[in-house]
Structure 1
Amino acid sequence: MRPLPEFKLPSLVARVGTRLPQWPQTLALVTGLNLALDRILPTDELAPLTGKRLQLNVSDLGLHLRYTFNGRRFRARFDRTAADLTLSAQLRDYLALALREEDPDTLFFSRRLCMEGNTDLGLLVKNTLDAVDWDALLARLPAARHLRGSHPG
């Protein structure tokens, strides 16, 4: 497996991204999270997230994805109220996390993953990220094979 190359998107991407509607990407995120429920994300362990306002920022894409968990599924939030927990990182760091090239602690202590808000929720999310079987998830996504270096050439 080839390691994920270091990259940083141009700042223009974030400036454009913040001006675009966030709901399509938020709907994609909550759809993915809901597909993962009880497959790789145990719903019962997510109970402390119930009713909490969550936000995922992808800083170099200019994305600010707001969502919540109602105890059974994730839902997009369209309000602008402050989140109970906000995670922020660059696209490359989220990909490295998903590919298990980096762990949440390393990203957090190197200040490449920022968690703001409720620290108990932050620990729950961090521990959940650690427990996710990303290989099982990637095995179910044929389009993700190129991220694992399995394409020819």
Structure 2
Amino acid sequence: MTPNRFVLPEPVGKLLSLLPVYPGSFLFATGLNLALKSNLPEDVQQSLNGKKLRIKVTDARLSFDFVWSNGRFAAGSNQAEPDLTISASAHDFLLLARRQEDPDTLFFSRRLSMEGDTELGLLVKNTLDAIELPVFELGKLAPARVFGRIKPGSGNSQS
């Protein structure tokens, strides 16, 4: 089997799998609140209420559990069985966030999978498709004084 250059190396995934689950889920839920909370229509909020969701980054061996409750996303416990699990590699999630790949393409090429409540999965997908979100760029997540000015494709930052 030819190694895929877009998959994290096995030792990295093994190391990341040792991290505690809750802090990552908390940070993920916080990011979702910043990016999505104000854009979710009321009917979507009602449909999401109390639903346990899991994002599983397969090559990093990381999972982020969260739930929509009391008008916001909150970190969940990985002890409970999620209503929906969405799985992909770190690279494929990055492609989705940067809007360089379509979720349907990844799904039908078996690079993105959904397990559990498929109706909920379609609701999530259609909601994200309908929301006009900016393309994910690290430099836009924090003020320039934190990360510096990040030039696309350069990999370097300057103050």
TM-score (norm 2): 0.79
Identity of aligned residues (%): 45
- Provide closer, same or farther for how the CA distance between residues 101 and 148 of structure 1 changes in structure 2, counting only shifts above 3 A: farther
Matches within 5 A, 1:1-153: 7-39=6-38, 41-44=39-42, 45-135=44-134, 138=137, 140-141=140-141, 146=150, 148-149=152-153
Alpha-carbon shift at residue 60 of structure 1 (Å):
1.2
The CA RMSD over aligned residues, in Å, is 2.5
Indicate the structure with greater helix content: 1
| 1:14-65 alpha-carbon deviations (Å, 9 max, x no partner) | 22222220112111100011112344x3252232111011111011111111
SS at match of 1:64: strand
Counterparts of 1:43 and 1:23, CA distance in 2: 27
- Provide closer, same or farther for how the CA distance between residues 38 and 79 of structure 1 changes in structure 2, counting only shifts above 3 A: closer
Gaps of 5+ in 1: 1-5
- Provide closer, same or farther for how the CA distance between residues 19 and 137 of structure 1 changes in structure 2, counting only shifts above 3 A: closer
SS at match of 1:32: helix
| 1:98-143 alpha-carbon deviations (Å, 9 max, x no partner) | 1111011111111111100001100011112222333266484255
- Provide closer, same or farther for how the CA distance between residues 130 and 49 of structure 1 changes in structure 2, counting only shifts above 3 A: same
Q: Contact between 2:86 and 2:113, CA under 8 Å: does it hold in 1?
A: yes
Counterparts of 1:75 and 1:57, CA distance in 2: 16
SS at match of 2:17: helix
Letter in 2 for 1:141: L
Alpha-carbon shift at residue 91 of structure 1 (Å):
0.6
Counterparts of 2:35 and 2:51, CA distance in 1: 19
- Provide closer, same or farther for how the CA distance between residues 63 and 92 of structure 1 changes in structure 2, counting only shifts above 3 A: same
In the alignment of these two chains, the number of paired residues is: 146
Larger radius of gyration: 2
Gaps of 5+ in 2: none
Letter in 2 for 1:42: L
- Provide closer, same or farther for how the CA distance between residues 51 and 102 of structure 1 changes in structure 2, counting only shifts above 3 A: same
Q: Contact between 2:150 and 2:156, CA under 8 Å: does it hold in 1?
A: no
Q: Contact between 1:98 and 1:134, CA under 8 Å: does it hold in 2?
A: no
